[in-house]
Amino acid sequence: MAAKQLMAKIGNAWQYVKKHWDIPPQGKFLSFKEAVAYCVGGMGAVGGRVIPTFVTLSAGIYTAAALNISVDDIFWVGLVTSIITILRAPLISYIIDNTNTKYGKFRPYIIWMPIPIVISFFLLGWVPAAIDNYVAMVIVYALIYNVLQFFVGVHSLAFTSLSQVISPSPQERTQLMSVGAFVYSLGPSIVNAVFPLLANFLFTQTVDGIKIMGINALDTYRWIVPLLAAVCYAFALIAAFGTKERMMISKVYVQRVKFLDGVRKTVQNKYFWINNLHRLWENLKVVGASFFIWVCTYMLQNEFAQSIVVTVMGTASVPGMLLAPMLIKRIGVRKLVVISNILLVVFTLPICFFPNPWLILVAGYMVTLAFGVQIVTNSLMMAQTYDYQQFKTGDRMEGFLSQFGEILIQVTTIAVAYIGPAISKAYGYFDDATVLYRPEVIEPIIQLNCVVAAGSAVLAVLSMLLWDLTDKKHAQIMDVLGVRALKEDGVIEEGEANVLETKILAGDEEAIRLAKEMIRRNEELRAEGKIKEADAGTN
């Protein structure tokens, strides 16, 4: 009987999916076809974001080890990169927030950016290694790397923003972010597993009795990295061509934001400051989960361990991503993120006292598990910040808000950039990665970095206590934006719209129900082509 009931439920679910494959369910904006396109394309887009980490100069691994770049030069290149990131951010923000095309505001960049990205990866693998002069080699590497980061930054911003405008429904967006984060997390998991597997299988060698892993070989960056990038960004095209942008705007709205106006409005958004104050600690607080490559390479010394560990690590964030919508609904975004950050502290502290390789791997898994919900909440909080901006000023400013947030992150990165190199140098690691095979060198480096991580997670907890944009308040904002769009489209009179807006903000349930029904009907008419598509981006 139970088996029959289960099969019946599966059959009903399958029929439901078939029925709404092209047509959204009642009360929804997304068909299953569009949701699948976003998720599958996201595997490529998010998987592609991982690949630049393989060519980022990091102490003891990847290109830094392949080119024998010193710890000091890693620091200086990182510092210059942070400064360039700060300088490029206003340009990216201005370009994004003044984009109006038939593909919308964000999708054009998902379509065209892969070409210069893949070319940059090829140049990075071949050109610096061909230069004999060390200083010139480092300079050329830094230049090509920063050009690559510009293109990757635009592509990444475009895909991230797509999830925040794909539906005007906050609940539908949260559900898509949750399921999408789970599905497209397979992209990074596959890349992180395939990269070391191919690199170590094809290019591992022994020099003077010391095994040099393939992940530290030049040929890896000449062939494997560009090929992985091409595959990932080709997959991302599915999301670009299979989705729409549905901003809660009038069909006659044309995106135009003057640079100085964009700056002024950005700094006046209080949630911009709170959100980015929390993000300042994001990279530092998960350091406890970042040493698994060192553990596999220098402590376990097994060429296949990294692929296995990466695959296992890839499962750690899944529960948090899937449970995030339910947890957000039950306890709210702020409490969920606070609890997540507290758990980061709890799971990082053991490494500070016991740098055993297996403990580091287990604790790193638990850190990733605790951080999983923040993969969803980070995107959700950014989307709410964008919506609040439109509510206050009438502007969609994803470019300015995200890129000026990036400036704050990079300023902080510059301020703390010396910490990692200082710790490494204090225990004898300067440029020769072979010293990391010695426990008296690698263990204290990991321990001290984890102390910094635990402190950063505590600061992240304190910053989240300022966030007061509740789900209820955000839902009211979305309803108000929908009413304003109807007013600008001439669907309802200005007086009626003003009264409706006041009642919505006062929590009037009947006004909220009426607004949602009018907004939904207007979207249905757009979908049927009876009125001009607002998401087309045409004038």
Mean per-residue pLDDT pooled into runs of 10, the chain (539 residues) = 70 78 79 89 90 73 68 77 80 78 84 95 89 88 91 90 80 78 81 84 72 74 91 94 77 64 83 86 73 80 74 80 84 91 92 89 90 85 87 80 76 71 80 77 86 88 89 86 81 83 86 81 61 39
Only one residue has tokens 């990279």, namely: 283
Closest CA to 212 of 397, 393, 436: 436
The sign of the torsion formed by the CA atoms of 165, 16, 42, 62 equals positive
Residue 61: strand pairing partners: 58
**Residue 150: count of CB within 10 angstroms of its CB:** 19
CB neighbour list of residue 421: distance below 8 Å, 6 or more residues apart: 59, 71, 72, 74, 75
Only one residue has tokens 């509510």, namely: 391
Distance CA 519, CA 168 (A): 9
Question: What is the pLDDT, as a whole number, of residue 537?
Answer: 36
What CATH number does the domain located at 31-245+257-469 have? 1.20.1250.20
Closest CA to 73 of 50, 463, 81, 293: 81
**Residue 79: count of CB within 10 angstroms of its CB:** 15
Question: What is the pLDDT, as a whole number, of residue 539?
Answer: 33
The one-letter code for the residue type at 395 is D
Tokens of 43: 């595997």
Residue 210 dihedral angles phi and psi, to the nearest 5°:
-110, 125
Question: What are the structural domain ranges in the chain?
Answer: 31-245+257-469, 474-536
